[in-house]
């Protein structure tokens, strides 16, 4: 039985903990999700201090960010199957512990290459935590209505993490430097383990959910909107096999493509050519392995559906714009502001993540996901243009705040609707894989956004924001043409 079956029907199995213990465990699972997502935004304000401390370049800062998202994105594709095979509680505890240990070591990193490697380890741990936490919720709340409420509370932490990241990062860097943004993960992880460790929950989840928790609900980083409970997937049976060679090849493709963009931005043309050739070769290996695999990393039936491809493009574009802006803008703002005020300057971007979800949920429920997605992408494109013009004209902060507000509003309108659109576009029996693929593609968009916008920032920050705007406009046009078609 998949996680989405669990989302629509009561789950049989070992007894679940009582209500008080379930709430405590849910709090721990939500806090773990908060920790994983916080790490994607909290580093942004620390970039200048990190560059000065480790003596690194723009390319080094890009790797410090993308080292995390490359492994996070690539391994999300198989994390659901890993949860099936090894048990949700076991994987969640191991992922949280590894995340804490890697955070401590990252804070002590003496050189950039050490930091990048450890960030990649943190991405692996994050990929283990997210679907495992969703599978645990499926077991803790067998009743569909209670499970929907629990999932909504869990998903709401994504908005809180995005909103808190720049401000928390600015405060921590102002007090103790860039290393503090990693040290903060340690007490959070210990609290997560203290809240989420429960023998009954471990027994019920590791007894075998048969879930595909990398699935649709695991993909609901929906900025706090209550996720729709999709129809049940068909199937069940033994846990799906993990094709590790294909999974490694997928990670290699993303890492090498990132290296190509970063090298191009640094005008290191020999490195660019080598990385580009290696990307093509690794892509060929991945395609060959996928064609031969009986457990492919990418769901073949899904990627044949035009609407699914349109949703994936839109999801990648949203994270491209958001992560790219969070990477580029702090480098400029801290030429004039201290870290804390830089974090506060991002409030127009982050406030919509906390304010818009109820409105977005009502809009999606009333008119469906199509209009919020197109509208959200249009707002993102407009926000990029406004910010580019502001930077080119050296205009005052209120105009930059307008661009940030448009961008934040666009993200908070589009993301919840994308989850609903992906689930509704998926063929029968593939809703679980659809959500997992959306989440992985979104993190891929974040990786490429940092690499591409960082590569163009040498031509001016306005140019990099126009790249983001063009990507969102293209995605909006594509979704407007394809997204509504049946």
- Angle at which helix 244-265 crosses helix 269-292, to 10 degrees, equals 160
| DSSP state letter for 15 | P
- Cα 282 to chain centroid distance, Å, stands at 24
- The pLDDT score that the predictor gives to residue 54 is 92
H helices of 9-143, in order, are 19-41, 47-54, 58-86, 88-107, 112-140
- The pLDDT score that the predictor gives to residue 429 is 66
- The pLDDT score that the predictor gives to residue 255 is 94
- The pLDDT score that the predictor gives to residue 287 is 93
Contact of 240 with 131, CB cutoff 8 Å: no
pTM of the model: 0.84
- The pLDDT score that the predictor gives to residue 476 is 94
- The pLDDT score that the predictor gives to residue 455 is 85
* Three state DSSP letters for 247-267: HHHHHHHHHHHHHHHHHHHCC
**pLDDT mean by block of 10 residues, the chain; 486 residues:** 41 60 88 89 88 90 93 86 82 94 96 95 92 84 76 73 85 91 94 79 50 42 40 48 87 94 90 96 94 83 86 94 91 86 91 79 83 94 94 89 94 85 77 78 92 81 88 93 68
What is the per-residue pLDDT across 6-56, written as a single tens digit (0 to 9) for each?
A: 344 444 455 556 778 888 888 899 899 899 988 888 888 888 899 999 998
d(CA 304, CA 284): 19
Task: Establish how many alpha carbons lie within 13 A of residue 484's alpha carbon, considering only the half-sphere containing its beta carbon.
Answer: 11
- The pLDDT score that the predictor gives to residue 456 is 83
- The pLDDT score that the predictor gives to residue 214 is 41
Q: Which two tokens stand for residue 71?
A: 């492994």
d(CA 60, CA 54): 9
């Amino acid at each position: 039985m998949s996680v989405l079956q669990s989302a629509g029907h009561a789950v049989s199995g070992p007894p679940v903990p009582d209500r008080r213990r379930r709430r405590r465990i849910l709090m721990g699972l939500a806090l773990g999700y908060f920790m994983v997502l916080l790490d994607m935004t909290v580093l942004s304000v620390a970039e200048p201090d990190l560059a000065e401390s480790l003596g690194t370049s723009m390319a080094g800062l890009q790797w410090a960010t993308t080292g995390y998202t490359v492994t996070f994105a690539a391994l999300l594709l198989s994390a659901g199957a890993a949860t099936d095979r090894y048990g949700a509680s076991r994987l969640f505890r191991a992922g949280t512990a590894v995340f804490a240990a890697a955070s401590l070591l990252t804070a002590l990193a003496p050189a950039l290459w050490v930091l990048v490697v450890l960030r990649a380890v943190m991405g692996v741990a994050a990929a283990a935590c997210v679907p495992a936490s969703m599978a645990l919720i499926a077991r803790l709340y067998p009743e569909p209505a209670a499970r929907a409420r629990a999932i909504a509370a869990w998903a709401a932490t994504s908005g809180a993490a995005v909103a808190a990241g720049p401000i928390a990062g600015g405060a921590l860097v102002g007090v103790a430097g860039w290393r503090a943004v990693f040290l903060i993960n340690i007490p959070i992880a210990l609290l997560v383990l203290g809240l989420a460790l429960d023998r009954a929950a471990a027994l019920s989840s590791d007894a075998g959910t048969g879930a595909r928790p990398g699935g649709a609900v695991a993909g609901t980083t929906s900025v706090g909107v209550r996720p729709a409970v999709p129809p049940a997937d068909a199937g069940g049976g033994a846990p799906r096999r993990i094709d590790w060679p294909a999974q490694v090849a997928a990670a290699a493709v993303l890492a090498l493509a990132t290296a190509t963009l970063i090298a191009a931005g640094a005008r290191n043309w020999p490195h660019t050519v080598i990385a580009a050739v290696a990307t093509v070769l690794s892509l060929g290996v991945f395609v060959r392995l996928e064609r031969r695999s009986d457990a492919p990393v990418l769901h073949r039936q899904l990627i044949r559906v035009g609407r699914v491809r349109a949703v994936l493009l839109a999801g990648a574009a949203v994270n491209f714009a958001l992560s790219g802006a969070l990477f580029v803008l702090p480098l400029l703002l801290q030429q004039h502001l201290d870290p804390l005020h830089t974090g506060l300057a991002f409030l127009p971007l982050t406030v919509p993540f906390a304010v818009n979800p109820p409105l977005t949920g009502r809009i999606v429920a009333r008119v469906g996901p199509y209009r919020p997605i197109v509208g959200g992408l249009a707002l993102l494109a407009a926000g990029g243009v406004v910010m580019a013009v502001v930077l080119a004209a050296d205009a005052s902060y209120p105009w930059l705040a307008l661009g940030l507000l448009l961008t934040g509003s666009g993200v908070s309108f589009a993301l919840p609707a994308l989850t609903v659109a992906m689930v509704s576009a998926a063929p029968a029996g593939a809703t679980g894989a659809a959500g997992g693929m959306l989440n992985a593609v979104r993190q891929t968009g974040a990786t490429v956004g940092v690499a591409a916008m960082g590569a163009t920032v040498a031509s001016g920050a306005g140019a990099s924001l126009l790249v983001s705007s063009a990507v969102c406009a293209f995605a909006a046009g594509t979704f407007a043409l394809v997204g509504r078609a049946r």
